[in-house]
Amino acid sequence: MDVEIVRAEVEHQAILANLLQLYAHDFSEFYDLDLGADGRFEYKELPLYFREGKRHAFLLKMDGKWAGFVLVRRGSQVSGAEDVWDMTEFFVVRGCRRRGIGTEIARRVWSQFPGKWEVRVMEANRSAQPFWKHAIAHFVGRKIAPATMEKDGDRWRVFSFESPGVLT
């Protein structure tokens, strides 16, 4: 299996927007997301990933085909810490899951951005919690217990750890 991370540029915005629809559809199972009048889920922050230096967007490929995306930003959206990297959004299409691609992509992304990290998982997203526990433990070499935080009425499991910034 050939796994590739592609830095998303402006010309990739439509591809990322399409993949965000699949991601939002998955999320709508446990989080109240409404379709817009055009029948699409809205992701207002997408243009910011192509304008702001503190935001980074990546597309994922598996065996040469689009397989998902990762959005990273500097500054936590839950704890408010400004000196951490935040795994804002992470998505692997269903047909590519359970093959180790998510763990490998997360490891590569964490390795690109040294320093403190927060990975937050909505408490309602029960299927993602074991994935993140495993992926983070695999990366840091030990289990990390998440803290429980609440913001704007949403409860989160927040994993905090440090990346040495070396791709291993």
> Token pair of 112, please?
């690109």
Residue 159's nearest CA partner among 126, 119, 132 is: 119
Per-residue pLDDT of the chain (168 residues; tens, 9 = 90+): 789 999 999 999 999 999 999 988 887 777 777 878 888 888 899 999 999 999 999 999 999 999 999 999 999 988 888 999 999 999 999 878 888 889 999 999 999 999 999 999 988 888 899 999 999 999 999 999 999 999 888 899 999 999 997 764
Q: Regarding the domain with residue range 3-163, which homologous superfamily does it belong to in the CATH classification?
A: Gcn5-related N-acetyltransferase (GNAT) (3.40.630.30)
Q: Where are the domains of the chain?
A: 3-163
Q: How many whole angstroms separate alpha carbon 20 and alpha carbon 142?
A: 31
Question: Distance (Å, rounded) from C-alpha 149 to C-alpha 49?
Answer: 25
